[in-house]
Amino acid sequence: MVIAKARAVDGPDKSFRAAEIERRDLDVHDVLIEIKYAGICHSDIHTAHGDWGEVKYPLVPGHEIAGIVTEVGSEVTKYKAGDRVGVGCMVDSCGECKNCREGEEQYCLKGNVPTYAGVDKYGEPTQGGYSTHIVVTEDFVLRIPDNIELDAAAPLLCAGITTYSPLNHWNAGPGKKVAVVGMGGLGHMAVKIAHAMGAEVSVLSRTLNKKEDGLEFGAEAYYATTEPDTFEKLAGTFDLIINTVSAKIDISAYLSLLTLDGAMVNVGAPAEPLEVNVFSLIGHRRSFAGSMIGGIRETQEMLDFCGEHGIVPKIEVISADYIDEAYERVLASDVKYRFVIDTSTI
Ligand code: NAP
Ligand code: ZN
């Protein structure tokens, strides 16, 4: 058993503290990873704050993990010590249901095992990446392309795949007009990936404060949603809208920006229900959909795509002592565009 150093939180209003957690002995298919970097996703904050319901504390969040394999179980074939690897939002699934067999393990009919705040097949609570080590079954470990640094790779494991998957599924590409709502961690990845897929990308942000960055990430246009004429001007424009906003917004207003047969996909996960005026859907055969991370095969495809296209997130590397402040800054949308914890500071 490995005792990992970690940063844990004991309740919705508590600060992070140093902790030690046990990582299980390696089963035959397990991989022991020395974590080097862990991204801070807004989902970590929703979970730590109990936004989505009750959580078992102490909680060690973190599902954007990049590190190095240090040991493998006796029957591991995919990885060896020294490999550069990542772990995302899930660490296991049943492997047998229809969705798992189709490589959509995130939609496992028995429920995937989340990297933290879940329960693994041994009945133990899972604890995430704000820690120095993790043990994961090899099928849920990803390979990081050689040309992507580990710190920049970490956010791809959630922000990258969560935006790549719907862009891929809804066929973002040449000739398609894609709008990204909210330019935070997920949003800025959506811009970069959609642009690399060949789509014409627009950003819909509250203000124009981040416009220069958005254009640099590959957007062709950048609009402020707080400006009164934006929605009128853009009515019926986009084939696909990816909504990454972590709070409740006026969905019907955004649906009005879709073309005939256009789709708006929600990846943002606010606690409050969102309201939809059906007339903004039925008049133009529009869809309102949701999407959750991506399967393991697609996550590897996304990593390789990012490697080939030189796509990396814009990150701010922080020490473990800065997690509470980083959470405050994410909540204030004061992040450019992902905080990544250097786990050597844990
Ligand atoms: P983030 O970095 O905080 O970005 C969210 C962005 O939303 C902000 O940058 C801001 O963009 C916009 N925003 C925030 N509050 C707003 C408000 N009150 N009204 C309008 N816009 C607002 O968060 P993230 O890490 O990208 O995560 C975004 C959401 O996706 C979270 O809810 C998270 O839990 C969820 N998520 C879902 C999945 C999935 O599988 N579906 C995976 C990961 C994360 P502007 O400043 O540009 O306006
Ligand atoms: Zn996440």
pLDDT in tens, 264-309: 999 999 999 999 999 999 999 999 999 999 999 999 999 999 999 9
- Mutate which of 245, 291, 302, 338 to test ligand 1's pocket (most atoms within 8 Å of Cβ)? 245
Strand 65-72 versus strand 2-8 pairing type: unpaired
Q: Closest Cα partner for 131 from 203, 50, 220, 67?
A: 67
Please name which ligand lies nearest the alpha carbon of 187.
1
Residue 162: the pLDDT is 98
Ligand 1 pocket, residue 335 CB under 6 Å: yes
Ligand 1 pocket, residue 6 CB under 6 Å: no
Ligand 1 pocket, residue 247 CB under 6 Å: yes
For residue 206, which atom of ligand 1 is closest to its CA? 48
Residue 228: the pLDDT is 84
Residue 175: the pLDDT is 98
CB 90 within 8 A of CB 105: yes
CA 124 to CA 24: how far, in whole Å?
A: 10
Report residue 165's pLDDT band, with 50, 70 and 90 as the boundaries.
very high
For residue 40, which atom of ligand 1 is closest to its CA? 25
- Mutate which of 227, 244, 272, 337 to test ligand 1's pocket (most atoms within 8 Å of Cβ)? 244
Mean pLDDT score, 326-346:
98
Instruction: Tell me the H-state helices in the chain.
Output: 42-48, 98-101, 150-153, 159-169, 185-196, 211-217, 230-233, 251-255, 279-282, 296-309, 323-331
Q: Closest Cα partner for 330 from 344, 311, 316?
A: 316
Residue reference for tokens 């909680």: 59
For residue 290, which atom of ligand 1 is closest to its CA? 41
Strand 200-205 versus strand 177-181 pairing type: parallel
210-265: pLDDT as tens digits: 999 999 999 999 999 999 899 999 999 999 999 999 999 999 999 999 999 999 99
182-203: pLDDT as tens digits: 999 999 999 999 999 999 999 9
Domains contained in the chain, CATH given: 2-158+313-345 (3.90.180.10), 160-290 (3.40.50.720)
Report residue 47's pLDDT band, with 50, 70 and 90 as the boundaries.
very high
Residue 287: the pLDDT is 98
Ligand 2 centre to CA of 11 (Å) is: 19
